Amino acid sequence: MPVLDRINEHFGFHQKAIGLRAERQEVLSSNIANADTPGYKARDFSFGDAMQQAMEGSRRLPDVSLALTSSRHIPAKAHSAGGPETLLYRQPLQPSLDGNTVDMDVERVQFADNTLRYQTGLTVMSGRIKSLQSALQSQ
């Protein structure tokens, strides 16, 4: 197995987890932004189910493209294979009279939890990259 394939395999799980956390952050942000919109239905998805689908290759992660800051940079874009995501409607604990199902207490807790887990994923990935760099420099 080529070295780059092994490195990609090594970081694949963390890459998918961070991508899904970022995607969920957007969904939760949308819920918070629409807390006062009449008739808005809060959405979310199960991170565990989405992660399992991503690892099996049946869930599409967001496409990523690199920003070019110099004309000498090589343009790059990563495309993910798979189907579109399925967002679920959150069941309200206490729906409002205008039909909005956003519960700000629930959204804040979910947002904070997802943020913490996103930051943890970045810290773990950074640590793995540093240890890989250290191993490569020692040779």
Span 38-94, pLDDT tens digits: 999 999 999 999 999 888 876 655 666 667 788 887 777 665 544 345 789 988 888
Q: What is the pLDDT of residue 9?
A: 76
Its pTM stands at: 0.74
Question: Could you give the 3-state DSSP secondary structure of residue 77?
Answer: strand
Q: What is the pLDDT of residue 118?
A: 97
Residues 65-94, buried b or exposed e (16+ Cβ, 10 A)? Answer: eeeeeeeeeeeeeeeeeeeebeeeebeeee
Q: What is the pLDDT of residue 84?
A: 42
d(CA 9, CA 35): 40
Span 6-33, pLDDT tens digits: 777 778 888 899 999 999 999 999 999 9
Question: Could you give the 3-state DSSP secondary structure of residue 60?
Answer: coil
